[in-house]
Structure 1
């Protein structure tokens, strides 16, 4: 049986490493602010999960074709990750490495999502297929630009293992509140303003503007959080680093079977999450005919989800899984 590590000894070692400059820390408010970067992209993701519902129920498109487009876009998302990650890895500007990607990615995301949920129902069917698929694809690119910073910038913000659970805690709380609160906001708060008609294009037009405005504000807060740490000193482009070209990355992608499986797993996981959320929407709106109940249901599950998140983070902290 493994002995539990001595907390005092680990703390002493960590303090020595700090003194040697091996660790750099962030203020708690910086971690709390930067964690909003993931929440900002997930705010857009909430609306993307309503893509199938909107295109079918509001625009009148075929469920089979829309499902095929959604599946293709999730696979496309999996392939954009290593490409944009490669570009990000080679980026170092006077505005930092991460801040430009976060801002540009969110601007693309805001424009494309709002445009997507404002496609007029009276357009021709063919035009609606082409335009919604194009806007979805461009939104994925903006989404990947911004999400590629979430993991990478954490090390620039703080590389102290003692602070890792803190980011997880803020991130989990924000997103639990987001996914539960968003459903309540759309189905229980906003829908009654449109006579409980969730097929009203005006509802989705208004919701898209509100959500993406919130996403932009959270992105600005995240940029403020990473501002002082978004420097070469912290994300460290080594002077003797080997020059990596895109064809080298392509060779890795083409020949690395585990990486290919990771892309497939990430894509299908996101697709499954999207399908699950869309299934909830369809069940409450088209089978139970009670969209307000979906909002109430999401609030019911919010408290236990937050509790489980808190207990999980505390467990990881006390058992030193972060090390």
Structure 2
């Protein structure tokens, strides 16, 4: 009888660098851009809200489209450093460049639109360059579901922490760096520092990551892999879930500053409100997500509970949020703590889809599947970044006119902040009823155990 292989152990160095790469200072850059960049373009650069909406839509739509391209390229990369690891060398350098250039005003008049469109596209493509390989290397390095979920939880905690700092204290950090370096625009030195710190995390992931559980680089046309994946129509609900989770999470941060500044007409309370939102997200990722997974056993059940409970809070806030600021802060904190984990819990479905395709088709398509998730996520980002500004532009929003917005504008702000997440949650609940992996879970676990044992034998 063959000796039983030992249980897979947590690689703590890999877990740290995997969690602190995409979910470290790179995520803080994303938090600052998501929370303040639109306001910077309308209120500081002077672009019209509709122009910013168009800019966001074009850039993030292209960002979504190029995700599958990156996934296909990553799956067919063949270097002495591996398939996914080489991208961790160059991507953080580009992140530092584009993240910085977004906050520089070239004063080109009407040409500013094209400048910021170019830089935002560059930033989005850079995020794609490191996100697809980062998602792909997790199932290539780890086969255990429990260890994967722990690493995803670590990453979720990093996301929450970086979003807390970036969205709550972004303006304070900008002012600190402006005073420290004696410049008018503190966003520039802040982005340089965050970009350099991201280099440390990504280069650490390059050094530690191993690609143990993947097949050799395929010599078949990439179209074959894509066809073999897309023919599984039963996986299509995953795409909608990924879109809706991203959309709901993005709206949480993209609309909060506008909500406080114009709906409440209290720009002095922006930092306080954003702190409540960010702390809620931190508690969600660091504390409640683990509790929900333990209580509800699976990511799908935890996600269902999160959607239902947070939607109740959002409905209360939609109707009664404006009456009392303390009440608004408390219920917003609770709603965010219940909702934020959704954007991390759906990452479990990426690994489920990868395992499902390996089980049904016998191929490793980590990059392609991760890119499909990336496409769905970026499409959600496209909507969350552009739709609020699009609607505001239609209903007569006036930049800087605190306390002077019309009633339709105020309704749109309230609905985008608290009504839209309820709709995205309902769509997720409907889609989750058609999860195809559950019926094959036992057979998939057997397959993964056999793959891991075979890999261990080859390495011994």
The bucket for the TM-score relative to the shorter chain is: 0.7 to 0.9
Distance 1:307 1:266, change over 3 A: closer
For 1:237, the equivalent position in structure 2 comes to 215
Do the aligned partners of 1:74 and 1:268 also contact (CA within 8 Å) in 2?
no
Alignment of 1:59-208 (within 5 A): 59-120=45-106, 122-125=107-110, 127-191=111-175, 205-208=185-188
1:224 correspondence with 2:210: no
Question: Can you list the C-alpha shifts for 1:127-150, whole angstroms capped at 9, x where unaligned?
Answer: 101111111111111110111022
Equivalent residue pairs, number: 292
Tell me the SS of whatever aligns to 2:22: helix
Do the aligned partners of 1:98 and 1:230 also contact (CA within 8 Å) in 2?
no
1:43 correspondence with 2:28: yes
Do the aligned partners of 1:61 and 1:129 also contact (CA within 8 Å) in 2?
yes
Do the aligned partners of 1:168 and 1:313 also contact (CA within 8 Å) in 2?
no
Q: CA deviation at 1:289?
A: 6.0
Task: Give the Cα–Cα distance (whole angstroms) in 2 for the partners of residues 102 and 30 of structure 1.
Answer: 13
Q: Which runs of 5+ in 2 are unaligned?
A: 300-444, 446-460
Tell me the SS of whatever aligns to 2:255: helix
Task: Give the Cα–Cα distance (whole angstroms) in 1 for the partners of residues 51 and 225 of structure 2.
Answer: 33
For 2:288, the equivalent position in structure 1 comes to 311
For 1:9, the equivalent position in structure 2 comes to none
Do the aligned partners of 2:92 and 2:199 also contact (CA within 8 Å) in 1?
yes
Task: Give the Cα–Cα distance (whole angstroms) in 2 for the partners of residues 235 and 45 of structure 1.
Answer: 31
Distance 1:55 1:30, change over 3 A: same
Task: Give the Cα–Cα distance (whole angstroms) in 2 for the partners of residues 117 and 99 of structure 1.
Answer: 29
Task: Give the Cα–Cα distance (whole angstroms) in 2 for the partners of residues 80 and 31 of structure 1.
Answer: 27
**Aligned partner (choices 53, 59, 66) of residue 39 of structure 2:** 53
Q: CA deviation at 1:67?
A: 0.5
Aligned-residue CA RMSD in angstroms?
3.5
**Aligned partner (choices 278, 284, 302) of residue 260 of structure 2:** 284
Distance 1:246 1:24, change over 3 A: same
Do the aligned partners of 2:86 and 2:206 also contact (CA within 8 Å) in 1?
no
Q: CA deviation at 1:108?
A: 1.9
Greater relative contact order structure (CA < 8 Å, 6+ sep) = 1
Task: Give the Cα–Cα distance (whole angstroms) in 1 for the partners of residues 229 and 118 of structure 2.
Answer: 25
Do the aligned partners of 2:176 and 2:186 also contact (CA within 8 Å) in 1?
no
For 1:29, the equivalent position in structure 2 comes to 13
TM value normalised by structure 1 = 0.75
Q: CA deviation at 1:84?
A: 0.1
Question: Can you list the C-alpha shifts for 1:92-151, whole angstroms capped at 9, x where unaligned?
Answer: 31223333212322222221121121023x3222x1011111111111111101110222
**Greater alpha carbon shift after TM alignment, 186-195 vs 100-109:** 186-195
Do the aligned partners of 2:74 and 2:83 also contact (CA within 8 Å) in 1?
yes
Question: Can you list the C-alpha shifts for 1:216-236, whole angstroms capped at 9, x where unaligned?
Answer: 4234224324523334xx142
